[in-house]
Amino acid sequence: MTKTRRYKCLACGNLTRFDVIRTERVREFHHFTTGGELEIEDAETLEETIESSICRWCESSKDVVEI
pLDDT recorded at residue 4: 80
Question: In whole angstroms, what separates CA 36 from the centre of its chain?
Answer: 29
Residue 55 clears pLDDT 60, i.e. is over it: yes
Q: In DSSP terms, which residues pair with 67 in a beta bridge?
A: none
Give the model confidence (pLDDT) of 16-53 as tens digits. 999 999 999 999 999 999 999 999 999 999 999 999 99
Rounded CA gap, 56 and 18, in Å?
A: 5
- Burial class (CB within 10 angstroms; exposed 0-12, middle 13-18, buried 19+) of 36: exposed
Q: Give the DSSP H/E element, type plus range, for residue 55.
A: strand 38-55
Domain residue ranges in the chain: 7-66
